[in-house]
Chain A
Amino acid sequence: AQSVTQLDSHVSVSEGTPVLLRCNYSSSYSPSLFWYVQHPNKGLQLLLKYTSAATLVKGINGFEAEFKKSETSFHLTKPSAHMSDAAEYFCVVSDHTGGYQKVTFGTGTKLQVIP
C-alpha cells in the first residue's frame, strides 16, 4: 500500500534558524519521493526529488532531504529560514502499484517564518 504522512500540519520558525519538515512514507515498491512547495494562490513547484540515486538530495533555494529507507522517512531541511520560505510544503510518493504509476500527496505542512 502507498501512503505518505506529514507529521506536522504547521511549523513555525524564526528567520535565520533551521527548518525541519517531517515526512514518512509507505510503499510496496521502490518509490520515488518528492517535495513540492505551494505559495498562496500559486501552483505547486518542485523543490527536490529522490529517484534511487544519491540518498541525500539537494534542491532549490537551499533545501535538501535525505532518503532513509530503514526509517521510511524523507525529511526536508534547510539550515537557515528566509521569510520567502513561508508557504505550504507537500511530500509526495510515487511508485508503480498494480502496474500503474500511483502518486500520493501528503496533507501538507504550513511553514511560518517569524521575523
Chain B
Amino acid sequence: DTGVSQDPRHKITKRGQNVTFRCDPISEHNRLYWYRQTLGQGPEFLTYFQNEAQLEKSRLLSDRFSAERPKGSFSTLEIQRTEQGDSAMYLCASSLVEGVVYTFGSGTRLTVV
C-alpha cells in the first residue's frame, strides 16, 4: 500500500456542472477525512468518516456537497452545481487511531471557470 490516493489530480469544470472526487485511503485505516484548502490558507475540515459512518460535517459543507464511504473503504466527494468559490484543493486523509497521525493524499485541485 503506497498511501492515500486521490483521483483526479486536477479537474477543470464549468460553473454549474457537477464534479466527483475519489479518495482511496490506506487500507487498514478506519478513519477518513476530507479537507479543503484555498490559496494562502491552511486546510479546512469538511467531514470525516469512521468506517462507513459519516460522523461529523463542517458548516462549510453546504447542501451542494455530499460525501460517501459506502463500504468503509474508498470515499467520494461530490459537488453539485459548482460555483467559482468552490475552486480549491480538496485533500483527503486517513488515520488508524483518532487523534494521531493523518496520512494525506496529494489532493485534487478543482478549478471552476
Contact = CB atoms under 8 A, between A and B. Distances in A.
Contacts of B56: 100
B104 A108 contact: no
The contact size tier of chain A is 20 to 34
A90 B55 CA distance: 25
Contacts of B35: 105
Interface in A30-87: 32, 34, 36, 41-46, 49, 51
Contacts of B33: 103
A46 B44 CA distance: 17
A104 B58 CA distance: 12
Contacts of B100: 32, 49, 51
Contacts of A45: 104
Given A32-B100, A49-B100, A105 B105 contact: no
B102 A46 contact: yes
Given A43-B107, A45-B104, A107 B40 contact: yes
B111 to A, nearest CB: 14
Contacts of A95: 99
A26 B107 CA distance: 28
A41 B101 CA distance: 21
A51 B98 CA distance: 12
Contact of A107 (B42, B98, B102): B42
Contacts of A94: 99
A46 B104 CA distance: 9
Interface of A: 32, 34, 36, 41-46, 49, 51, 90, 94-96, 100-108
29 contacts: A41-B106, A43-B91, A43-B104, A43-B105, A43-B106, A44-B43, A44-B104, A46-B101, A46-B102, A46-B103, A49-B101, A51-B100, A90-B42, A90-B43, A94-B99, A96-B99, A100-B55, A100-B56, A101-B98, A101-B99, A102-B45, A103-B45, A105-B35, A105-B44, A107-B41, A107-B42, A108-B40, A108-B41, A108-B42
**A-B CB proximity, top 3 nearest:** A105-B42, A43-B106, A44-B104
Interface of B: 4, 33, 35, 40-45, 55-56, 91, 93, 98-107
